[in-house]
Each structure stands twice: as C-alpha cells, then as structure tokens.
Amino acid sequence: MIDFLGTAASFPLRPDGRGGIAIVSGVAAVEDSLRAIIESLRGSHLMEPWLGLPAFVFQPIEDLGAIAEVIKDAIIDGDDRVEPRSLRVEVGINDSGVMPVTVTYSIRGEALERTLEHGYRLLN
C-alpha cells in the first residue's frame, strides 16, 4: 500500500534533523497533500499551479456550503489517492475568526474512513 500512496517532502517543509528535508510516506503523505491543498492559494506552488484553493475561500464569506464544495473539488482534482465517493467536507466559522475545516475521506481501495481537521484564520 505504501508504494501506491507514495513518498513526498513534508508539508509544510520541515527539517529532518539530519540536515535535510523531512520525507513522509504512506498515509502521512496523503494527509500532507490534503493540508497542502486546503492551506494554499491556487497558483502559489510553482511546479503545481493547479494545487490549492481560489483566493475567495480565504475571505470572509457567508456561503459555507459553497466553500465546502470548492474545497472538495480541489481535493478531488489535486489528489487521486482519495476516493471521491467517500469524500465529505464540512466548513464552519467561529467567533474567533477561525474557519474550521473537517475532511472525512477514504483512500482508494480501503474501507477505513479517516478524518483530517484543520482551521485557519480568515483574511479581513
């Protein structure tokens, strides 16, 4: 299964303690990929300009369902290891200006459902 899930540089980039960049593989590589998609502005990755979310997602907005759909579409387009039929994205806004994002997903070929929770500050 690890061969299918691959190996990549960690996201965000961090040192490995031996003078290099930390490498992740397997499920950790998928989770780092999902984080890269939901934390990045589209076009900010030089070698993967399609990766990330459009800028309006990071602005205050009231249509949380639309944001969830944009994030879901970005994940489907950005990582083919995730099973699209099992992918669910929930988005909220709390009083401290943080937009929590919960991604529930399965890796293709697995029945196990995983959850990634993330929250980031909205731009004002």
Cα distance between residue 3 and residue 66, in whole Å: 34
pLDDT of 45: 76
Cα distance between residue 109 and residue 76, in whole Å: 16
pLDDT of 3: 62
Mean pLDDT of 6-25: 86
Using the predicted structure, report yes or no on whether residue 44 has a pLDDT greater than 50. Answer: yes
Q: Percent of the chain beyond pLDDT 70?
A: 90
CATH of domain 2-121: 3.10.450.40
The overall pTM is greater than 0.85: no
